[in-house]
Structure 1
């Protein structure tokens, strides 16, 4: 069942899918409707299942599921990945590539391959204080408190040495 994101418990499972580009203004409503429809029908075999989503910065798709009241099976996870793959194909974006990095640069959000990110650090084009999006977080609590952090406070900090 689709619920408001704020009503999802802190220990709920979260998946973050960063897009390789911003969704265009003419795409975002359609993307949001597709995500909403997916979440509504994600796990219809359980009345207790609660899930939600957010689309942030026209770039990040965040899915959240209360996996404690209803266990997510491999089939349920596969369904979400199949849906994300479908979005990738439809909009010609990368959403599943975890080897890319998203960070703030002024008012813009950059999406770079890890090797290019390391070069930016080496060349001091970005610093330890640059805000990074840690898309590997796993719970709503982590999402709310540790998704946007300075590079030095994230696992990316190891590239500063």
Structure 2
């Protein structure tokens, strides 16, 4: 089973930034280790917004030290691209123009104006396994943890 970590940027990255970050993600995944041994890992950028790190736990699980190294790597991306990846109060949702991102205050205003409603698809970045990407990552607002936050 593949364990995943999803990090969402606070803005949509440019195409150029996305291409550069994908190169960095690939290099990181190739050298990512646990206790000096390589992890069976991969990393990807989706929608120029989400960084998804994956580790095949059937081969070796990431430990505290390896997770710490991924955080250091991602902090470097934050610095180089002037983006926030650890702010969990940034919300991604599907809009008529594609994937959009809003901070808590703006998201709340969009709810108040009806631009976001119970059926708006939102991204649940708290999922932890690869198989959930297809079934639990994008859900209607009414079925998400976001709903409890704004109730």
Question: TM > 0.5 between the two?
Answer: yes
- Equivalent residue for 1:114? 104
Match of 2:37 among 46, 52, 64: 46
Of 79, 83, 89 in structure 1, the residue corresponding to residue 73 of structure 2 is: 83
d(CA) in 2 for partners of 1:39, 1:155: 30
Describe the superposition over 1:120-161 as per-residue Cα deviations: whole angstroms up to 9, x where unpaired.
212212110001011111111222211111101111222564
Whether 1:123 aligns to 2:91 is no
Q: Provide structure 1 residue ranges, at least 5 long, that are not aligned to the other structure.
A: 1-8
1:24 aligns with 2:14: yes
In 1, the alpha carbon distance for the partners of 2:94 and 2:71 equals 26
Runs of 4 or more, structure 1, over 3 Å off, are: none
Who is 2:53 aligned against?
63
**Once the 2 structures are TM-superposed, how far is the Cα of residue 85 of structure 1 from its aligned partner?**
0.3
Q: Which moved more, 1:122-131 or 1:88-97?
A: 122-131
My pick for the range that moved more, 109-118 or 126-135, is 109-118
What is the SS of the residue equivalent to 1:140? coil
Distance 2:41 2:87 in 1: 23
- Which segments of 5 or more consecutive residues in structure 2 lack a partner in the other structure? none
Alignment size in residue pairs? 150
| Structure with the higher fraction of residues in strand conformation | 2
Q: Distance in 2 between matches of 1:24 and 1:128?
A: 30
Pick the aligned partner of 1:147 from 119, 134, 137: 137
Aligned to 1:156: 146
| Paired position in structure 2 for 1:5 | none
Query: Root-mean-square deviation (CA), in Å?
Result: 1.7
Residue 101 of structure 1, aligned match among 85, 91, 110 = 91
